[in-house]
Amino acid sequence: PGEGWFFYWKTSPALWEEKIKSCLSRYLICPIFWGHHVISEGQFDFGENIPEANLKRLVDLAQTHGKEVVFFLPLGPAPFLPNGGVPSSFSRYFSLNERELVLCAVDSDGHVNKMVSFFDHRIFHAYSTFIATLGQYFESNGIEANVFGVESYYYEEDEIRDYMEDYSKVFEEAFTRYLSESSNREKVDELKKIESDPEKIRVLAKINFSNSIKDLYQGLVE
């Protein structure tokens, strides 16, 4: 709270103004929780029925009290959001780490948030619909606030690891589809020119694939 983070879905709207006024920072950092705005598949709420989802009111209150809202929009699993930010209705496949354990994080309230795999094509299409709707909502309501795409990382044994990193069956299936496309097979052939070890070639191809998916999510948000 001292850094200005504001999790709007956790606080009763009746208390928003009081909390915003007491914020020491001039910035109000608001992570956008995709899962909180979902009513049903393809249907979203931004305050029509769920008061805690009214981002327009949040921005107006902040500006009234001289605060600048900065929205954080996750570009992948976010450790500070339930299911990594994904709606529970889509939380079918979880990301796995190298030890084949579900990738998860403990948030500031002590809750264990499991990371849903962003390599599931259902997640990508649902996220795409949400982003388009969010953009229309901002435009139609004249919301002027900075929106930053956020990638999340963590430390493990002195290494920086990406929460997008995934060793699940979903990732492997998506990677296999990626390799089946002729343009991507050509990329693998290029890797063979600089690397002879088949296993290293596969690792490099997976990195290229992961980066291409991350680029797709970033493109949606842009």
Structure confidence at residue 182 (pLDDT): 80
From first to last of the 222 residues of the chain, give the pLDDT tens digit: 567 899 999 989 999 999 999 888 899 999 999 999 998 888 999 999 999 999 999 999 999 999 999 999 999 999 999 999 999 888 889 999 999 999 999 988 899 999 999 999 999 999 999 999 999 999 999 998 999 999 999 999 899 999 999 999 999 999 999 988 888 777 777 777 777 777 887 888 889 999 999 999 999 999
For position 134, what pLDDT does the model report? 97
155 DSSP β-pair partners: 160
User: What is the reported pLDDT for 171?
Assistant: 95
Joined tokens for residue 184: 């991507």
State the pLDDT at residue 1. 55
End-to-end CA distance of the chain: 28
